[in-house]
Amino acid sequence: MFRMSLSAFTKDESFPFYIQYGVHEEPLYLHGHDNYFELVIVLSGTAVHIVDGERYSAKKGDVFVIGSDTEHGYDEPENFRICNIMFRKSVLDEVSEDLAGSVGFQALFVVEPNASMKKTFCSSLHLGSVEFSRISQLIHNMNCEYTSNLTGRIAMLKACFQTLVVTLSRLYDFEKISENKDMLKLAKVLAYIHTNYTSDVKVSKLAEIANYSQRQLIRLFHSTFDCVPSEYITQLRMQAARDMLIDGRMSVAEVAAQCGYTESNYFSRIFRKYNGLSPTEYREHFVKK
């Protein structure tokens, strides 16, 4: 797979973000992304979207997110015009905490890209005429800001991107997904996990949300995220712990409690397993840096 690096579009490592309007009169060769995401809004025309060897129709109003390690390109373009917004996960993380409980956010920005990397490409957001006009204006405003040299450009772009992500998450078209679709079930499970991961989340509860057996849910979860729900929850807790330790305002015991661990010694063992350092060593190492 030919891997396209984000550095080919922008050299600004402090703000790994790029906006591009593209007109495709010829097929676009198959390529993958070097550790970045691509949000695509189809502005006009049609094409065949090729994803990991499978062919899907793409038309005006379609919105989808392509993650890294997913080979895709376009064939048979007809008046095909798109807006590409390339971004590192760090840009998305700044808004993801507030949207953790949004099923639309989890579906469009988490489940769909991961599913595309593991199995079949899936996209269920198509904008109607009113929504299309709204989103088109948002991305136009973003592009004007992106190409300007105005003071506060980066802050404004982040705010615009966050508005776009929230708006698309709210518009996510669940009417096109029956209650039996795996993607919607996973999105509901993720929304619950992200808002409750510091509590004692039971697999039985997650299975109830998905309306699956525990065995079915674990198999589906692992096929999409390469881990079982309990491991995913631990990873969320470890990320939260790292952030709090770096912040430095809480003791290790307080960080443990905030992350859902009642015993700080057990928390320290888990933290070392995932990070190679104890919580105290991790904090000291980061401060020294």
DSSP letter for each residue of 218-284: HHHHHHHHSS-HHHHHHHHHHHHHHHHHHH-SS-HHHHHHHTT-S-HHHHHHHHHHHHSS-HHHHHH
Residue 4 pLDDT class (50, 70, 90 cuts): low
What local confidence, expressed as pLDDT, does residue 176 receive? Answer: 57
Residue with structure tokens 């491991």? 231
The residue among 59 and 96 whose pLDDT is bigger is 59
What local confidence, expressed as pLDDT, does residue 5 receive? Answer: 67
pLDDT at 2 over 90: no
Secondary structure of 156-183 in the HEC alphabet? HHHHHHHHHHHHHHHHCCHHHCCCCCHH
For 26, phi then psi, to 5°, come to -125, 160
What local confidence, expressed as pLDDT, does residue 54 receive? Answer: 85
On whether the CB atoms of residues 68 and 85 are closer than 8 A, the answer is no
Give the mean model confidence (pLDDT) for residues 183-201.
93
Structure tokens at 285: 């190492």
The residue among 211 and 34 whose pLDDT is bigger is 211
What local confidence, expressed as pLDDT, does residue 31 receive? Answer: 85
On whether the CB atoms of residues 260 and 198 are closer than 8 A, the answer is yes
Report the 10 Å Cβ neighbour count for 265: 11
What local confidence, expressed as pLDDT, does residue 65 receive? Answer: 92
What local confidence, expressed as pLDDT, does residue 94 receive? Answer: 78
Residues of the chain with pLDDT > 70, as a percent, come to: 91
pLDDT at 62 over 60: yes
pLDDT at 101 over 50: yes
On whether the CB atoms of residues 52 and 71 are closer than 8 A, the answer is yes
Contacts for 95 with CB less than 8 Å, ≥ 6 apart: 161, 162, 165, 166
Residues of the chain with pLDDT > 90, as a percent, come to: 57
User: Which residue, among 121, 114, 30, has the nearest Cα to 72 in the 3D structure?
Assistant: 30
pLDDT at 180 over 50: no
Alpha helices, H only, 58-111:
89-96, 103-105
Residue 183 pLDDT class (50, 70, 90 cuts): confident
What local confidence, expressed as pLDDT, does residue 179 receive? Answer: 47
Separation CA 188–CA 71 (nearest Å): 27
Give the mean model confidence (pLDDT) for residues 56-63.
93
Q: Give the predicted TM-score (pTM) of the model.
A: 0.83
Q: Residues 255-281: pLDDT tens digits?
A: 999 999 999 999 999 999 999 999 999
What local confidence, expressed as pLDDT, does residue 173 receive? Answer: 63
pLDDT at 149 over 90: no
Phi-psi region of 65 (alpha: psi -120 to 50; beta: other; left: phi over 0): beta
The residue among 202 and 8 whose pLDDT is bigger is 202
What local confidence, expressed as pLDDT, does residue 64 receive? Answer: 92
What domains appear along the chain, each with residue ranges and CATH number?
A: 3-174 (2.60.120.280), 232-288 (1.10.10.60)
Residue 288 pLDDT class (50, 70, 90 cuts): low
The residue among 177 and 277 whose pLDDT is bigger is 277
| Range scoring the smallest mean pLDDT among 103-112, 170-179, 216-225 | 170-179
On whether the CB atoms of residues 101 and 196 are closer than 8 A, the answer is no
Mean pLDDT score of the chain: 88
